[in-house]
Amino acid sequence: MAQHGTCYYHVMMMNIKNRFKNVDSLRVFKDAAEAYHLEEFEKHFSDTSQKYPKVAQYLEKDVKFEKWSRAHFKDNGYEVLTTNIVETLNNMILKAREYPIIAMIDFVLFIMGQWFFTRRRESVLVTTLITLKKEAILRGRFDEAGSLTSYQLNENEYIVMGGDFNACVNLTTRSCTFRVFDIDKIPCIHAIAAAGLYRPQHTRAYVYSICFEYYTSDYWILAYAETIYPIPPESQ
């Protein structure tokens, strides 16, 4: 079941800026909104409450934490900024609004067809196992994971020590008490450290295998596999 949330940047930050006329509060709000773990969230939100009590009351009482806080969101979140489709279409048809309806639809199909073609061509040239953005994130996490220490608790779970928090990782369920793995759907630094203990000779291959399948390059190719054709002439 889907869960409704609020875009913290486009909606919440603009709401705070317009309602309270306080740009300085946006930084601490952003830190609280992006926190994965409840302890981390509470630290940042306490900072917000002390410095900007009216903003904190608005966020807690009027909007509710689960609407904008990553730490309180109970569903899947993929840490990917998606474009507002309404804004995208409005910008796309700006020049075609005065066209007859069939001509306008044909124009939209043409533009989308070009988008699909460009992205399809880009996706088939990728040589990494996962999409480029996630590949860059994962490489950074490999570097960070090297400073952590892992201990095996049972067949599936590991305790990982070091960094800001100690974490318990379950490689079978692809979860971590720090919640980065749970939300981002690619292994966090704790999961990578645990994987190093679980598969010491094939750590990288195993880490890629537990990435969420929708981040793989194969799924990227499938997303743009279809060809979008223009409207055929009436005679056809």
181-213 pLDDT, tens digit each = 998 899 999 999 999 999 999 999 999 999 999
Inform me whether the pLDDT recorded for 170 exceeds 70.
yes
Q: Let me know whether 137 and 203 are in one domain.
A: yes
In a domain, 3, yes or no: no
Burial of 42-53, coded b for 16+ CB within 10 Å and e otherwise, reads: eebbebbbeebe
pLDDT recorded at residue 42: 94
Do residues 107 and 156 share a domain? no
| 235 lies in some domain | no
Whether 80 is covered by a domain: the verdict is no
Is 76 inside a domain boundary? Answer: no
Q: Can you give the residue range of the structural domain that contains 55? A: 8-68
Average pLDDT over residues 65-84: 71
Which class for 168: exposed (0-12), middle (13-18), buried (19 or more C-beta within 10 A)? Answer: middle
Alpha helices in 35-158 (DSSP H): 38-51, 53-57, 65-68, 85-92, 101-124, 132-145
pLDDT at residue 184, as a whole number: 87
pLDDT of residue 3: 60
Q: Do 194 and 179 reside in the same domain of the chain?
A: yes
In a domain, 2, yes or no: no
Residues 45 and 60 in one domain: yes
Q: What is the mean pLDDT of residues 59-69?
A: 87
Q: Does 114 lie in the same domain as 60?
A: no
Between 169 and 111, where is the model more confident?
Answer: 169
Residue 232 domain flag = no
User: Do 94 and 148 belong together in one domain?
Assistant: no
Do 211 and 140 share a structural domain? yes
Residues 105 and 140 in one domain: no
The number of folded domains in the chain is 3
Mean pLDDT, rounded, of the chain: 87
- Do residues 113 and 43 share a domain? no
Selection from 176, 179, 187, 177 nearest residue 212 by Cα: 187
First to last CA, the chain: 42
Q: Which DSSP state fits 149?
A: E
pLDDT, average across residues 116-123: 95
CB 73 within 8 A of CB 66: yes
**DSSP secondary structure code for residue 231 in this structure:** P
pLDDT at residue 82 above 60?
A: no
Residues 138 and 122 in one domain: no
